[in-house]
Amino acid sequence: MSGKKRVAVLPGSYDPVTYGHLDIIERGAALYDELVVAVSENPAKEPLLPLEERLALIRELTRSYGNIRAEMFTGMTVEFAKRIGAEVILRGIRTFADFEYEFQLALANKRIGQVETVFIMSSAERSFIRSSLIKEATALGGDVSPYVPHLVFEALKRRLAELGMMHSRSRVGLDGDETPDIGRDGPGLRGEAIE
């Protein structure tokens, strides 16, 4: 067995970081000598929380771990992985639908960058947590404290209030016909469909 340090990268937008993310981070850190939580800056997406705040939250929430660090990256994950010397890309999977997408991505990353992908299944009690639903529920005044750390909950409330999206009757109809524009892909908590 070689003495080379085993490094894994766990990419994501973490907008916001949830207990589901933290579960995967903690379990990934137990498998590798170093886990780099790579916070992506995707120009195609408009995150609710600024990149610097997402990084700061992850750093604060993982500071008790000696082998976890958080970094920002842009561009292709495989290029970032090579730059930091990661041998694998670590990905969490919640559902079968996640697996289909992640499987295709893993094949592409292997072909393009010769970097392996390792999957960690979400814990059953965390498998339904989606950042988009957390943002929506917070904007609608829901209590998401069971799903995100207090620091994150406060950051979300503060940011939504800054944007005028917290409990805003002009943006959130009492009949549920309107939902805050917080970067969701589906109708979410209004119940017309599953995201």
Are 136 and 121 within one domain?
no
Nearest to 49 by CA among 128, 189, 148, 157: 157
Report pLDDT digits (tens) over 20-60. 999 999 999 999 999 999 998 877 778 899 999 999 999 99
Are 105 and 168 within one domain?
no
Report pLDDT digits (tens) over 118-149. 999 887 666 667 788 888 888 888 888 889 99
Q: Compute the C-alpha angle 139/37/67, nearest 5°.
A: 130
- pLDDT at res. 79: 92
- Give me the domain span that covers residue 151: 131-186
- 46 vs 108: CA distance, rounded Å: 25
Has residue 1 been placed in a domain? Answer: no
- pLDDT at res. 128: 63
Are 82 and 146 within one domain?
no
pTM: 0.79
Catalytic residues: 21, 45, 94, 131
Q: Higher-confidence residue: 172 or 84?
A: 84
Are 21 and 113 within one domain?
yes
Task: Provide the pLDDT confidence category of residue 94 given band limits of 50, 70 and 90.
Answer: confident
Are 78 and 158 within one domain?
no
- pLDDT at res. 193: 31
Q: What is the CA radius of gyration of the chain?
A: 17
Nearest to 58 by CA among 9, 22, 7: 22
